[in-house]
Amino acid sequence: MPTPAKPGKHPFDRIIDTIEWTAAFFVGLVALNVFVAVLLRKVFSTSIPDSYDIGRMLLGILIFWGIAATSYRGGHITVDLLWSAASARYKRWIDVFATLVLLLVVTVQTIMLFDKVALTLADEVKTYDLQIPVWPFFAVAWLGDACAVLLIAIRTWRLLFQPDAIEEHPEARVSE
């Protein structure tokens, strides 16, 4: 679990901590939604109107904010056969290359997701029961994706110009 930002921290670190705490908030929100929906269904034989739609949109938001939270720390799933056999210098360049590819892919994804938000707003898509507009949920998911681009850009900057500010590669700690 990330620790709250300290006043003397670099602005990048405060941004990173804020994004990680936001992702953690959405994990809690999804868990609360599932818990309340199951409790109402099993104990009171009733349900929250639109709970399914809201739950799946919250899950989508969680996925995109999760991408943001894992992108900076390198906590996503990786296959590092080549990396583990490389020297320290080449490990750094492999990390730079991989991060640049990730930055490109997530940037394109963010642009495409923005189009989806705009189309959902223009089409006035709403939930079935309560007629809640869907676009704000999509916009919050897009914001998480945009934060992922920001964090990947920070990681790229640090890999290139401040390599000491990056935590060691997660696979380097496997032997502990």
Report pLDDT for 173.
46
Residue at 101 is within a domain: yes
**Across 97-117, average pLDDT:** 94
Amino acid symbol at 38: V
Q: Residue 32 and residue 1: Cα distance in Å, rounded?
A: 18
- pLDDT bin (cut points 50, 70, 90) of residue 171 is very low
Could you report the per-residue pLDDT of 49-106, keeping only the tens digit for each?
A: 988 899 999 999 999 988 888 887 766 556 677 878 888 888 888 888 888 999 999 9
Residue at 4 is within a domain: no
Residue at 162 is within a domain: yes
Residue at 49 is within a domain: yes
The candidate with the shortest Cα–Cα distance to 65, out of 165, 7, 166, 149, is 149
Report pLDDT for 175.
43
- Which structural domain range is residue 36 located in? 11-167
- What are the residue ranges of helices labelled H in 78-125? 81-85, 88-122
> What total number of domains does the chain contain?
1
Residue at 175 is within a domain: no
Specify whether the CB–CB gap between 166 and 158 falls below 8 A.
yes
